[in-house]
Structure 1
Amino acid sequence: MTMVLAVALATGCSLLPEQIDMTAGWSASKLYSEAKSAMNDNNWEEAVKYFQKLESRYPYGRYAQQAQMEVAYAHWKEGDSASALAACDRFIKLHPNHPHVDYMYYLKGLITFNGDLGFMGYLNTQDQTERDPKSARESFDTFKELVQRFPNSKYTPDAIQRLNYLVNALAAHEVHVARYYLKRGAYVASANRSQYAIKQYPNTPAQEEALFILVAAYDKMGMEALRADAERVMRLNYPNSVYYTQGLEKKKPWWQVF
């Protein structure tokens, strides 16, 4: 009697609702449809589960490839950037000639563009150049590859705009570091970072301040010839610079609209 009861209890436990896979026997199209429905409801976690089941049960065919793309987006929307990036890289590696692989490059660029608020955070009052620019550099590299490999992609125009933004942001970061060193008396380091910003990011809004910091750093070090040369270049390019009268306490940073 005791054994029969134990068997009955074990059988009952195995049939608990939470242990029953309601998707068992679903077709690939059914799983995909349910995953898309979950995405439409912003239920990203549920969508990821359906896409993963789809790929696991039906690893070949158009639904599997589409699931690999969609799951990257769903991971991103649910806030799991690491898994989203891994999904993008996996798809690019497995399907380098897929007709929509350009989208995966674009999505990868977006993920790192907004990583940890990324450089979009420039629109708030915090000095975002203090952030680690690692995500911005990764985003820049990805968008650059997209533009070079797929010049006719529908995602390329937006990628170019983001590239321009990222160049300005990365230049501003270098100038922020140069300014930081200057204020703390690390003049050699300040001059080096200014020179790097000038050479790596020409024609950006940060160039003006980079040149001014370079002049100031050379002046502090008593390098009169280098100072004169840097000032000549600055006055040639920025004859009416506000830095001449206001110094480093000038207008608002380039990213602050208000």
Structure 2
Amino acid sequence: MVCLLLPLGLAACSSTGDQDDYALNDTPPEVLYNEGLALRSQGNLKAADDKFRELDRLYPYSEYAKRSLVNMAFINYRRGNYTDAITSARRFLTLYPGNEDAAYALYIIGQSYYAQIPDITRDQRVTMEAAQAFSELIQRYPDSEYVADSRTKLIAAEDQLAGKEMQIGRYYLKKRNYIAAINRFKTVVLEYQTTRHVEEALFRLTESYYSLGVVNEAQTAAAVLGHNFPDTAWYKNAYALLNEGGYAPSEDSGSWISRAFDGINVL
């Protein structure tokens, strides 16, 4: 007899003797897993993902389902399906936080966000997510084989985040909204102190505070800039700006700027 497909995809047959195409697959989990691995090694990633998903659906609490989650995360990352990769990796971490593959799952999450980092003019939410994943991996699994690459990518992500703060800060500075500008440059100095943007941030703080008439903080920002980056154009510009008004760089040890660099040499 002919089977008709119902709107929700359920098979309906008029004879009970006919086999339902949607009957439960009784293939053992180890067989499904090995089939998925074979498809993955052949480069048939879509079929491999389907196989691992089927295994996870049929045997959700098995050891093979656990391995399938990691494979799904990797496969979807390779296919550019970053949302699915992150979902599988996060589910794995939720279910098996102490598993030996937890560091790898975190690494896939970081890589998936990192691959989506936009240019500096756009919202940097995914950049922040990438930085958080790599930072967590470094802190929780310091001996992991993924730490070295995570450190490299964390530096790049933080540089991007600092660059975004600088872009917004310069916009506010141009609009003479000095308080808003200072808040952005302050974020760079406090949170992204080891990025390449900190030199300009200190100069912009000198510029912003000086424009507000808060000379003491302007002098401190210039002094800290000169102490850490004495040969840069940013320091020369800060020195010249203060000199025009009859001032010179002078550090106030009680300033938040001075305290931010206390005991830290960024050279």
TM bracket (short chain): 0.7 to 0.9
What residue number does 2:214 align with?
223
Unpaired runs of at least 5, structure 2? 6-10, 14-19, 239-267
Percent of counterpart pairs with the same letter?
27
Deviation at 1:100, TM superposition (A): 1.5
What residue number does 1:109 align with?
110
Unpaired runs of at least 5, structure 1? 1-7, 122-127, 248-258
Q: Which has the higher helix share?
A: 1
Between the two structures, name the one with larger relative contact order (CA 8 Å, sep ≥ 6). 1
Deviation at 1:70, TM superposition (A): 0.6
What residue number does 1:86 align with?
87
Aligned length: 227
1:123-142 alignment runs, 5 A limit:
128-142=119-133
1:1-258 alignment runs, 5 A limit:
8-10=1-3, 20=21, 24-115=25-116, 118=117, 128-243=119-234
Deviation at 1:63, TM superposition (A): 1.8
What residue number does 1:251 align with?
none
Q: Distance in 2 between matches of 1:196 and 1:62?
A: 45
Structure 1 stretches of at least 4 aligned residues deviating more than 4 Å after TM superposition: 11-15, 19-25, 244-247
Deviation at 1:167, TM superposition (A): 2.4
- Local SS of the residue matching 1:129: coil
Query: What TM-score, normalized by structure 1, do the two folds share?
Result: 0.76
Report the CA distance shift for 1:41/1:187 in structure 2 as closer, same or farther (over 3 A).
farther
Q: Distance in 1 between matches of 2:58 and 2:80?
A: 26
Moved more, 166-175 or 27-36: 27-36
1:177-220: per-residue Cα shift (whole Å, max 9, x none)?
21121122222211111112111122321111101111121233
Q: Distance in 2 between matches of 1:89 and 1:241?
A: 44
Q: Distance in 1 between matches of 2:106 and 2:52?
A: 20
Q: Distance in 2 between matches of 1:185 and 1:72?
A: 47
